Structure 1
């Protein structure tokens, strides 16, 4: 099959790209392996509420609505489905892309036995796709229930007994507060601190517009403060807890312990040498890039793709969207990705040659 542009991923980044492509009359298709649009939001726990309020959770062209509330995971997924339908975006679900190769001046995208020839490719698989779990996890006793945050849905998946949550960032804190209502919880990891304002109340409502403006205009690649924060983010420095406070953790009896450094005789061990007797482990250890299937000459696909605001370096016609701090602090958020998508599609439209590529049907 032959397309002018193939977008890989039907989450917020892919749908934003689709909107701007459609507005410019560019022919394209969006491919996704799932059976529902939504990207990484499909792999989040049931009770998840967004960390940004609804007033900043809109994709280009369609308001989310809801004012200063924090939408649930299901509300967001419903919005994304309506968005794809409203703008009649050509989404093909159940297509698992497994390869990307050069084909003349364009690309060949493979998905099992299917092959797609295209002039442009937009990688919109997002920043939160492949769970990152330490190698020593495989040494844990088989009696311990293990879940990554991508697989955790609710406390009903856990067996009776203590729950160890590894990773004390936002996901670890949010899941810990939920699980702490039914289980004893140990939270392992560095105390990253928390925002000194209550985001869920009047303080958040008053200050969030300023916070968003700083994210969008000060913390960018063009400005020194932005480059500093970007470097720290890419080095894996933990972000402040956005919604939970230390008092919220204490209220459900969460106990903080040192980070987990390994496993001894099937039992987790802290960096202090203490063995931790637990029945369950939830790995809130983040995600890693998933570009190993991209096979292009001169491209290092082992991690974050080097790009200029989404235009992949040295690869004309290849674009990426949804990377953490791609251009600004909130590039990977639902309310921020639209700006990068607009930039990428403008570049794509500008570089389209007057003549047609000689792409042969597969």
Structure 2
């Protein structure tokens, strides 16, 4: 027998089972609430597993943990993307979080009974919904990319895995943020490599000693990014505008690492000439490969509610004013510069879970999911 399965009612649905969704789940479980986490991937952590092969997190392990469970690595270590994926999977198992994998949400809407979440042949009804996803969903590539010669290999960072995907010859990496810098250094080992884009600055500052560097990072990430650069402060709003313009600063790498690797810095790409990328200074680069590290579009078109402006959710620190019961966690600068980082998502998740608990007390829904497991 085929067709839609019987609808299921839950107190709260969390859409997205990455670090943001798991952090929300942890705090909802602490509140004793009924909820389910819907994730499109087949395994918890797959969003990390599918990134490029050599990727390491840009922040040391001490900043990469979710609430209640440390990352099993030295504080100063930069863990691999697979180690992060395995940590997230172990986290969900340790706390018995009700993650339902293989469930890609197609539509979020509302009827007279509350929110309606459609995922394939499944329909869920809920009083509260948390969209626990970042703005980084659909690859963004400039329109003129289509004018590049067909013999040029083009990859977005989300599709790049390793240099084996590239043709012999030069590589232009477009976008000088953390991903672009990391990929440029890797491909420069076997290809002439150019890195295009404005400098984003760098952290940590040049300081001798591992402890001193960690101390600076601790101040920057947990004080400056977490408490000073917020949506409520003038400095935070200025930083947010700068971040939207050309990305955040380098964290694990430094500008001199690019130079030492043989990566040549060039201005921004302004267009295409004779099938080849043209720079703002008029130079045309004869390259065989272009890797676009140019960010993402939000990709929230599946939300069938009047809560989007220019594709982005309209919210106040994750709470949607004109749709009571709808929340966001994991967005860039949700409440502060740290909101999109692993170490910063927990604060937002805790605050949203508190708001959900207040709303849930108004409606009684039988508990259907296991409570938080203990260590």
| 1:219 maps to 2:229 | yes
C-alpha contact (below 8 Å) 1:269/1:276 kept by paired residues: yes
CA distance in 1, matches of 2:324, 2:198: 41
| 1:276 maps to 2:322 | no
C-alpha contact (below 8 Å) 2:10/2:36 kept by paired residues: yes
* Aligned-residue RMSD, C-alpha: 1.9
Quick one: which of 298, 301, 304 aligns to 1:292? 301
TM-score by length of 2: 0.89
| 1:103 maps to 2:111 | yes
Q: Deviations over 1:149-194 (max 9, x none)?
A: 1111111111111011011111111111111111110111112333
SS at match of 1:336: helix
Quick one: which of 2, 10, 13 aligns to 2:9? 2
CA distance in 2, matches of 1:286, 1:149: 8
Cα displacement (A) at 1:120: 1.1
Cα displacement (A) at 1:247: 2.1
C-alpha contact (below 8 Å) 1:40/1:126 kept by paired residues: no
C-alpha contact (below 8 Å) 1:176/1:185 kept by paired residues: yes
Aligned length: 355
C-alpha contact (below 8 Å) 1:98/1:112 kept by paired residues: yes
CA distance in 1, matches of 2:104, 2:111: 20
Residue 91 of structure 1 corresponds to 99
Quick one: which of 167, 170, 186 aligns to 2:194? 186
Q: 1:224 to 1:301 in 2, by over 3 A?
A: closer
CA distance in 2, matches of 1:39, 1:245: 29
C-alpha contact (below 8 Å) 1:51/1:70 kept by paired residues: yes
Residue 276 of structure 2 corresponds to 267
Unaligned stretches of 5+ in structure 2? Answer: 1-7, 366-375
| 1:63 maps to 2:73 | no
CA distance in 2, matches of 1:53, 1:205: 8
Unaligned stretches of 5+ in structure 1? Answer: 358-362
Residue 114 of structure 1 corresponds to 122
Structure 1 stretches of at least 4 aligned residues deviating more than 3 Å after TM superposition:
198-203, 353-357
Residue 342 of structure 1 corresponds to 350
Residue 373 of structure 2 corresponds to none
CA distance in 2, matches of 1:68, 1:7: 32
Q: 1:300 to 1:354 in 2, by over 3 A?
A: closer
Cα displacement (A) at 1:197: 2.5
Q: 1:117 to 1:248 in 2, by over 3 A?
A: same
TM-score by length of 1: 0.92
